[in-house]
Each structure stands twice: as C-alpha cells, then as structure tokens.
Amino acid sequence: MNNRTLVIVAALLLAVLAISSSAFVVKETEKAVLLRFGELVRTDYEPGLYFKLPLVHELRKFDARIQTVDSSPVRMLNSENKFMMVDSYAKYRISDVARFYVATRGDQRNAVRLLAEQVNDRLRNQFGVRDLHEVVSGQRDQLMANITKNLNQVARTSLGVEVIDVRVKRIDLPPEVSESVFQRMRAGRELEARDHRAKGEEASERIRADADRQKVVIQAEAYRQSEEIRGAGDAEAAAIYAGAFNKNPEFYRFTRSLHAYKSSFNDKSDMLLVDPESDFFRYLKDPEGR
C-alpha cells in the first residue's frame, strides 16, 4: 500500500468520524436544545436527522413523554389543628424546552425538586383551610383539580412544563393524633348506634302495641260472630224443636218424663222426696198420663 492510499484511507476515516460526531437524531419522544459554547442557539427541533459542528456545538436531549414527580410524605396541618402525613404525586411533561433548560440548568432532577416543592406548598395552603373529612372525601376531587390548574399556570411560566395531574396517594395521621381521632370517631359511632337502637326499640314497641290491639279487635270480632252464629243456631234449633213438638205435644211430654225418670233414678243411693200426687208420676200411674 503506497502513501497515497494511506492518505485517502485516513481522510475517509476522518470524514466518517467528523460526520458521526456532527450528525444526530431527534426522536418523537425527545426534545432537544443546541448550545454553542454554552449559549442556547436552537430549540425548535422536530423529529429527524440534524447536524452540528463538532467541538463548537453541544446537544442536550430531554424526555418529552409524561413524567412523574413522586415526592416523599410531608407533614401538614389542617383547619382542625391536626397534623397529617400527606403522600402525593404529580404528572408533567416538557412544553417549552428552552424555558425548561434555563430554569433547571439542563438537569431534570431540578425540575422534579422544584415541582415537588410547588405541589407541597399548594397542598399545605389548601389543607390548612379544610378539615380531615373535606380533604379525604368531601372535596378531594375538586381540591386536586384546583391545585392542578393553578400549578400548571405557574409551571408553564417558571419551568416550561405542563402539569397534567396532581393526586394525593395517601393521607395518614401521626401516631400521637391517630389514637385521639380514633376515639372520637368511635364515640361518634357508638352515639349513632345508640340512636339507631333507641329508634328500633321505639318502632318495635309501636309495632307490638299495634299487633296487640289488632289481636284484641280480631278476638272480639270473632267472639261476636261466634255468638251471633250460636244464637242463630239455637234459635233455629228451638224453631225445629218447637215445630216437631207441636206435631205431637203429648209424645213430647212423655219423652221428657222418661228423661226425667232416667236422670232421677240414675243411682240407687239417691233419695227423692216427691208428693205421690204430683205430675212427676203421672205416666207411672197411667200410661196415657191422665
């Protein structure tokens, strides 16, 4: 290999090296800024292939996808002067890469730290004017929406990021507060339980009294109906007997006398003092009862 060939190969290698060090690709999931000796010169990169001057230009890339700021639990005071341990997170993405680079000095950890401070400050302000019930369930959704909207306006201006959502993952009470809150909640539930029991007992007494009243009314109505039926039966029986006896009164008197004899002489030890001339013996003296 002669000297000319070596020169050509070396030139080619240098050209390849120069091109590889000057060419760069910006992906759809990235945002990029170009620096010239530390000065920001370009930020409007769309996805594609670009070139820069080696040793003169410096390229910085940032993730343009949605990022999460997961801050540590922070101790906060509510309107009831009760401390709470609040664990929250925020979702954001870069909207203005130039502003983002200037505000964070090109370090995304600074953005995470600054956003976490902003989130905690707004949560502390909002929790300070609300009680535990409001921040846990009563106004939680509206509270998070207001914080997200307010923080997004500030973050766009100061950090160049869009805050998409702010959420509270968990709210705990410190150990010294948990017991007193638990006892207060327990007392409230016991009072509510006693109230329900008293109302239940009152309702049961009312139902029982109404049932007893209905029982008396039903029994009285049944007794009345039974007496009416019995009276009607007795009247009908008497009418039947009267109709039968009127057909042969003498036979009726005879059968009644036989029943009277049978009842009177049922036991040999019985003693009966009767005038022999009375009507009791009329059928014993004369079969025709004359």
Q: What is the pLDDT of residues 26-72, one digit of tens each?
A: 888 888 888 888 778 888 888 888 888 877 888 888 888 988 888 88
Give exposure, 160-197, as e/b (b: 16+ Cβ within 10 Å).
Answer: bbebeebebeebebeeebeeeeeeeeeeeeeeeeeeee
**Could you tell me the CA-to-CA distances from 235 to 120, 130, 242, 252 in Å, in that order?**
97, 85, 10, 19
Orientation angle between helical segments 97-104 and 108-127, nearest 10 degrees: 90
**Could you tell me the CA-to-CA distances from 191 to 183, 184, 185, 194, 197 in Å, in that order?**
12, 11, 10, 5, 10
**Cα 119 from Cα 161, distance rounded (Å):** 14
**Cα 162 from Cα 157, distance rounded (Å):** 10
- DSSP assignment string, 176-235: HHHHHHHHHHHHHHHHHHHHHHHHHHHHHHHHHHHHHHHHHHHHHHHHHHHHHHHHHHHH
CA angle 145-150-155, nearest 5°? 120
For position 219, what pLDDT does the model report? Answer: 92
- Compute the average pLDDT of residues 74-102: 84
For position 12, what pLDDT does the model report? Answer: 66
3-state secondary structure 10-21: HHHHHHHHHHHH
Give exposure, 112-131, as e/b (b: 16+ Cβ within 10 Å).
Answer: bebbbebbbebbeebbeebe
Q: Is the pLDDT of residue 288 over 60?
A: no
**Cα 56 from Cα 152, distance rounded (Å):** 36
Q: Is the pLDDT of residue 91 over 70?
A: yes
* Pairing label, strands 83-94, 74-77: antiparallel
Residue with tokens 């539930």: 189
Enumerate the H helices of the chain as residue ranges. 3-22, 97-104, 108-127, 132-133, 140-158, 175-247, 249-264, 282-285
Confidence of residue 75 (pLDDT cuts 50, 70, 90): confident
Q: Is the pLDDT of residue 18 over 60?
A: no
The predicted model scores a pTM of: 0.54
Q: What is the pLDDT of residues 168-211, one digit of tens each?
A: 888 777 666 666 667 777 888 888 999 999 999 999 999 999 99
For position 221, what pLDDT does the model report? Answer: 92
For position 58, what pLDDT does the model report? Answer: 82
Maximum CA extent, the chain: 183
Q: What does the CA dihedral 157, 159, 160, 164 come to, rounded to 10 degrees?
A: -90
**Cα 88 from Cα 144, distance rounded (Å):** 10
Q: Is the pLDDT of residue 125 over 80?
A: yes
Q: Is the pLDDT of residue 88 over 60?
A: yes
31 bridge partner residues: 62
